[in-house]
Chains A and B, each alone.
Chain A
């Protein structure tokens, strides 16, 4: 809406695209095995290379991981932004509100629970089954939160509720784990530890289109999200069909969070932090600017996190969740202490 904003935003976007490409390249370049940079290029463009093992490392490990980081960063940041606007809560995000846990419950029921019924969750159905159950799980939590949010005036209560739902779900997952067989338990534990590196290129073929469609749909909701800034009454008086748009936004967020969590495990704090970063950098609350900016910032930040997690010299890569938390939590504390505008979303 601002006249001067678009040009500034264009430069910013361009800068972030360039840096994302650089970080993507760096992410391919760095790792426990040293591969010369020019070889990476020749491998990527399908040319012959000195060692066959390099090709395998790039195509089966580093490239899927870098793509996963890109998808994850973009998707989780946009989910956080949408939830912050929808819940009118600056601390909302997929992780804190228990939506990632919901996805976890979905996967737990799928991986461990189904074996009770004699259905095998390993094999052909596993790939899409995990994604669907994870999406259903996150959708369930979001639906519960939204049905309650209408009855509560105080937004902080919603946050506490999200944390409580998260704990209840963790408890339920614990019970399921207790009763499940070794094989299923192991494959679930593997999932919870799952990092960006556990993703395969086959899984990416499913995840990438879901995320890309989700992000495009998010951008289409940006006009309605802008109206939500005025509060629900005003949004309604401006012609927004609240019930309908709410469901659409929730569906998009649960599909994005669910599918990302299904493959990468719960990755914390990106969803809360990035939208604030986007607001601070752009000094705007216009979602038509904030959504693309959050996507780009999220991609950059998660690629950096991934680079840190596998810095040369480390024998094993660190879990990406620790890195996003270590960097995210101080930022959230800073938001709470420093930013008086936190009340702006009320």
Chain B
């Protein structure tokens, strides 16, 4: 199979200290995939590895048949964009300028934006509903706004694959939901494959098409429904304290 996302025999870790190995996952394109797992299980490491930020120990990651990990930074930047938890802080830059960073892989040596680049930037601004903020100073924004601007930057990068590492972690409820809905819109109507790691399990179950679950050093693919019906989520946590209620699709404290 040539299409879609293929992770085969991937081993990840730092400095040859393997955290997860023998990872085999696959998914179709234009899906929204959520990555679940408890802290310290290797979520970020997995996402960093498939984004090319961290060298893999073994195995490969193919997107639409292209071996992403073998590409140069420059080639990869046109296929894959990232959004991370860490907020960057830059003084003296407007929201629009920040989003314009997304055009970096396409511009000339001096980084001059062409009409097409401005179209992509404006398009990203409209999609993320940031028109009112476009001329504001990036540093003056709230965390939620900054994260949306960051996503807009990834959209302006115009890559078929967007990888997000806990993008909603500092956000309030409304902002969290807005970000999820925006990502869903991107995968549904704008031909984007989204891979997102999150602790927002209850929203992700409602919105995402597929779940990659890391548990006990194993990574497996589930549909949200099988995950709920096979009661996999309760296994994830200490059942003495918390359990997942199938009917309400939410966690219950004990």
Contact = CB atoms under 8 A, between A and B. Distances in A.
B90 A239 contact: no
A233 B81 CA distance: 11
A223 B88 CA distance: 18
Nearest to A244: B73
A279 interface: yes
A227 B91 contact: no
A284 B52 CA distance: 30
Contacts of A344: 89-91, 139
B111 A237 contact: no
Q: Among A227, A238, A341, which residue has the most Cβ atoms of chain B within 10 A?
A: A238
B77 A222 contact: no
Nearest to A279: B92
B61 to A, nearest CB: 15
Contacts of A238: 77, 101-102, 104-105, 157
Interface in B90-118: 90-94, 96-97, 100-102, 104-105, 107, 109-111, 113
B91 A279 contact: yes
Contacts of B78: 239
Interface of B is mostly: loop
A284 B138 CA distance: 12
A108 B81 CA distance: 49
Interface residues of B, number: 37
B80 interface: yes
A230 interface: yes
Contacts of A239: 73-78, 104-105
Contact of B110 (A223, A231, A236, A284): A223
Interface in A227-262: 227, 229-231, 233-234, 236-242
Interface string B30-46: 00000000000000000
A32 to B, nearest CB: 43
Given A226-B111, A237-B80, A241-B73, A346 B53 contact: no
A238 B97 CA distance: 15
Contacts, number: 92
Given A231-B86, A231-B88, A346-B89, A1 B109 contact: no
B51 A237 contact: yes
A231 B98 CA distance: 13
A230 B88 contact: yes
A223 B109 contact: yes
Nearest to B75: A239
Contacts of B74: 239, 241
B168 interface: no
Q: Among B74, B92, B102, which residue has the most Cβ atoms of chain A within 10 A?
A: B92
B60 interface: no
Interface in A21-57: none
B53 A237 contact: yes
A329 to B, nearest CB: 23
Given A236-B52, A283-B92, A288 B105 contact: no
A233 B94 contact: no
A1 B97 contact: yes
Nearest to A223: B111
B219 interface: no
Contacts of A181: none
A285 interface: yes
Given A222-B110, A238-B101, A238-B105, A233 B53 contact: yes
B204 interface: no
B128 interface: no
A166 B81 CA distance: 40
A123 B139 CA distance: 56
A229 B113 CA distance: 18
A241 B104 CA distance: 13
Nearest to A221: B109
A239 B75 CA distance: 7
A171 interface: no
A1 B73 CA distance: 23
A2 B118 CA distance: 12
Nearest to B51: A237
A288 to B, nearest CB: 6
Closest 7 CB pairs of A and B: A239-B77, A238-B104, A1-B97, A239-B105, A223-B111, A239-B74, A344-B91
Given A222-B110, A288-B111, 12 more contacts: A227-B101, A230-B101, A231-B88, A233-B86, A234-B88, A237-B52, A237-B77, A239-B76, A240-B104, A284-B93, A344-B90, A344-B91
18 contacts: A1-B93, A1-B100, A1-B113, A223-B104, A223-B111, A226-B111, A233-B48, A236-B73, A237-B82, A238-B101, A238-B104, A241-B73, A241-B74, A283-B92, A285-B90, A285-B91, A288-B110, A341-B91
